[in-house]
A and B are shown apart, each in its own frame.
Chain A
């Protein structure tokens, strides 16, 4: 648990083989690098290593393997499941100095970047050429490419573009023993047996450390219209979604929903103006690219006639679009700033959402009678963020105990409906105990076999996802 945990001969080897600023043990840095956006664990890493090259990562891991030193690979640390938490004297391996971005390949629509490149920086880098890497979410200003890939991150554009997994062509991965793997190069097609690249995507740093990636790019989308609708309840959110999805007049790039309770917390935290005169129980943010403007207008008009929405606004210009997006993207931050949320990030088959939500209501009223529950999420992907807020009068320990007790009931319901207990936040430490609700025993056994094969000494992100 302390810096003394690092053996002297290991430190000696670091001093001899690496630059002077390679390792830091400054207490402030340890605090900072030891945690992600979860605030449940007390950070306590032994040190932070800040390599600049793949070669340094490779030599460091070989050394850690030799000395049995636990390593927590670390990107932008914006995770919400504790995957990048170092609370047990581990060595944090931060990729944040590896931010180089290569030239954009305009013929192949690809770009090679180092793992520490910040998501938004990649967007800017490619936008000059009319291209984008369509992995996009609220934390894009801090999250890194390596972290996005290691967690197979989701976000707000999944409905149109899919997960990070779909946008990675090649990977450079350093194994637990320090070997450097070049997987798939920059190939779109490569049918030469099992695709090892996919093994590392979403493995949360437990199988290898991603150091570089060749990203697949796509054209920047055309003009996007942003709408916010007021609807009476969750069932209406789904009704509107069913209707929107059937339209040919536009393609949906985001379909997000949030409840008025989220909006109220936002209003308390930041002075964002409510877009409607009269509040409604639920709101839907729709971002769409119109293919047939007249047909879109016809559809919008029909929403009122068919009573699918009770009110709606359309952003005029980019500033208003950003304002509407701020309502959705600011929720997570505002919930934490105004109270203590207990977060769950679940997904269901879209077709089963309605039945699930009805049963979820019953669980809420049985388990959390009268509590404030803030629901929001990427409902177009079947993804719900369930935030149970700590009642002001209750103390933190009692609250955590209560939610811990209630979670299995909800996870059992998720399992019954064929859903996942972690849609896009990963497993990390937070969801590890509940993995069995989404993965069968045979699957878990196979995951352990893989872990042992790739990391025989268990030095890579130990204690996260599954135990070997």
Chain B
């Protein structure tokens, strides 16, 4: 089977993010970047699926030439080849979904796996838009029952299950009151939640091999997509600073504060 997986470049969550004083964006200087963790989970899941059912994992990223770093990372994990949509200007979620739609039409995968959201703007929209644009079924927030993996990463078993006739996939998703299992006909769009798997390390032999794996360059123009954003970011600001805590002398004082000030008891 052929699986297309996204690999967005995002700020490393361990970096310290600061908003520019004029609110026009974040301070880029000194930041480290990595694959969006949800996408990294998607790559891992794709690799497990093709390890079990044969096929290939194609990884796609949109951005300037720096996103090749994230594509190389996915290739080092084991993805077979990469598609790079070279675009440096602003783009919104609709634009991204439109670009991905064209890539999907070109690549004809059986399955597209995306992170359910990216950790930079937390939009949680692209997977859903893409499924709609393609007219495909979607299974969002794919999860796995008690998947704090170890034990040789649960033997690298994929959590997305292909049905016996290989015509559809079964996905477990977390819902408010438990877990729901949904089945989608292929081709389909699946978005990943955090508890799906634990992505593998990039092995050094993998990193070496990744250097010679092909990255195909595309552009919005080549894909005939107009990415002029419909959404404009007006301003960014930091959340209000947390107030310093206080110490209370004893339990009655705590209860008094909780009752009269916090009004929670």
Task: Decide yes or no whether A87 CB sits under 8 A from chain B.
Answer: no
A300 contacts B32, CB within 8 Å?
no
B204 contacts A227, CB within 8 Å?
yes
Shortest distance from the beta carbon of A119 to any chain B beta carbon, whole Å: 19
Complex CA gap A312/B73 in Å reads 15
Known A300-B207, A319-B13, A319-B14: A314·B202 in contact at CB below 8 Å = yes
- Chain B at the A interface: SS class: mixed
Contact of A275 among B73, B149, B201, B205 (CB under 8 A): B201
Contact of B15 among A275, A277, A316, A318 (CB under 8 A): A318
Most B Cβ at <10 Å: residue of A275, A303, A318: A318
Task: Decide yes or no whether A450 CB sits under 8 A from chain B.
Answer: no
Complex CA gap A81/B208 in Å reads 45
Shortest distance from the beta carbon of A24 to any chain B beta carbon, whole Å: 18
Contact of A316 among B13, B73, B153 (CB under 8 A): B73
Contact of B201 among A271, A314, A318, A322 (CB under 8 A): A314
Contact of A315 among B15, B198, B201 (CB under 8 A): B201
Contact with A along B63-100 (1 / 0, CB 8 A): 00000000001001000000000000000000000000
Known A271-B148, A273-B153, A277-B152: A316·B204 in contact at CB below 8 Å = no
Task: Decide yes or no whether B111 CB sits under 8 A from chain A.
Answer: no
Task: Decide yes or no whether A37 CB sits under 8 A from chain B.
Answer: no
A273 contacts B14, CB within 8 Å?
no
User: How many positions in chain A have a CB within 8 Å of any CB in the partner chain?
Assistant: 29
Task: Decide yes or no whether A369 CB sits under 8 A from chain B.
Answer: no
Task: Decide yes or no whether A349 CB sits under 8 A from chain B.
Answer: no
In addition to A304-B205, A313-B201, 9 A-B residue pairs with Cβ atoms within 8 Å of each other are A267-B150, A273-B150, A273-B153, A297-B207, A304-B204, A311-B205, A317-B32, A317-B35, A318-B12
Complex CA gap A301/B207 in Å reads 9
Shortest distance from the beta carbon of B261 to any chain A beta carbon, whole Å: 27
Complex CA gap A274/B150 in Å reads 8
Task: Decide yes or no whether B203 CB sits under 8 A from chain A.
Answer: yes
Closest to B70 in A: A316
B32 contacts A312, CB within 8 Å?
no
| B interface residues (Cβ-Cβ under 8 A, vs A) | 12-15, 32, 34-35, 37, 73, 76, 148-150, 152-153, 198, 201-205, 207-208, 211
Shortest distance from the beta carbon of A2 to any chain B beta carbon, whole Å: 31
Complex CA gap A175/B14 in Å reads 44
Which A residues are in CB contact (< 8 Å) with B153? 273
Contact with B along A263-306 (1 / 0, CB 8 A): 00001000111110100000000000000000001001101100
Complex CA gap A211/B204 in Å reads 48
Contact of B35 among A273, A274, A312, A316 (CB under 8 A): A316
Known A316-B35, A316-B73: A274·B204 in contact at CB below 8 Å = no
B204 contacts A317, CB within 8 Å?
no
Contact of A300 among B15, B148, B208 (CB under 8 A): B208
B152 contacts A318, CB within 8 Å?
no
Shortest distance from the beta carbon of B18 to any chain A beta carbon, whole Å: 11
Complex CA gap A467/B13 in Å reads 52
Which B residues are in CB contact (< 8 Å) with A317? 12, 14, 32, 34-35
Complex CA gap A229/B204 in Å reads 9
B150 contacts A271, CB within 8 Å?
yes
Shortest distance from the beta carbon of B257 to any chain A beta carbon, whole Å: 23
Which A residues are in CB contact (< 8 Å) with B207? 297, 300, 314
25 contacts between A and B (CB under 8 A): A271-B150, A273-B153, A273-B198, A274-B152, A277-B152, A297-B207, A297-B211, A304-B205, A304-B208, A309-B204, A311-B203, A311-B204, A313-B201, A313-B202, A313-B203, A314-B201, A314-B204, A316-B73, A316-B76, A317-B35, A318-B12, A318-B13, A318-B32, A319-B37, A320-B201
Complex CA gap A312/B205 in Å reads 7
Shortest beta-carbon contacts, A-B, top 10: A318-B14, A312-B204, A317-B34, A313-B201, A271-B150, A273-B150, A317-B12, A316-B73, A301-B208, A313-B203
